[in-house]
Amino acid sequence: MTTRNKIGILDLQGGVHEHAFHLQSLGIEPVRVKVAEQLDDLAGLILPGGESTCLIRLLNIFEITPKLKAAHADGMKIWGTCAGAILIANRIEGDQPQLGLMDITVARNAFGYQIDSFNTIVNIPKVSKKDMELTFIRAPKIRAVGKGVDALLHIDDYIAAAESEKCLATVFHPELTPSLAFHKYFVEKCGITITSELTEIPERTSWMQFARIANPTK
């Protein structure tokens, strides 16, 4: 089995910079994965938010998909955020699954248009003792989870976060809020120790400001 001791971010499209900034704030220098060979020594890989159809096409064009699935089978953990959660789902309502790595059912664009983006405050005890702000932008919903998958967060009639032994799925964007809790949780899920005592990034980016302005009442 390959020795895996680094965290990567799929760097083809989507919110790569924001994830990288959060990891760097925790003292982790991520590998920005553009080619299949960069998956070799990764303990974990983040599939960022973006456009899931675009991401899967690029994964196939650059012939990364087979290596990604093999690395995952060999122990590499995967965290899908928003579009990334769609990529790893075994079932997509009204569509065919893409990578099919996690036993969840998702519905695309379940919240409406970009203007319907919003923030909310929740508590997820398994991830953090503190309340966390979540940002939803044209997000999917997890409708159901299968055997071996635990729901980390229920909101109304859907699941917003879930995990299995080898996958983490969030339909929101932890990289667009100050909290480092989810990034710390994933890194430690991958078996890497965090030494930083930071719980939040130093300041908000322009994307975080946009998410708040888009719907300031939520």
| Active site amino acids | 82, 173, 175
Rounded alpha-carbon distances, angstroms, from residue 37 to 50, 77, 168 = 23, 16, 23
Q: Which residues are registered as beta bridge partners of 170? A: 81, 161
Tell me, rounded to whole angstroms, the distance of Cα 74 from its chain centroid. Answer: 20
- Residue 70 sits at φ, ψ, to 5 deg, of -65, -40
Q: Give the position of tokens 């997890």.
A: 142
Q: Give the position of tokens 């398994």.
A: 126
Instruction: Report CA torsion sign: 26, 168, 77, 94.
Output: negative
What tokens does 106 get?
A: 């998702």
What tokens does 88 get?
A: 């790893």
> Cβ of 148: how many Cβ atoms within 10 Å?
12
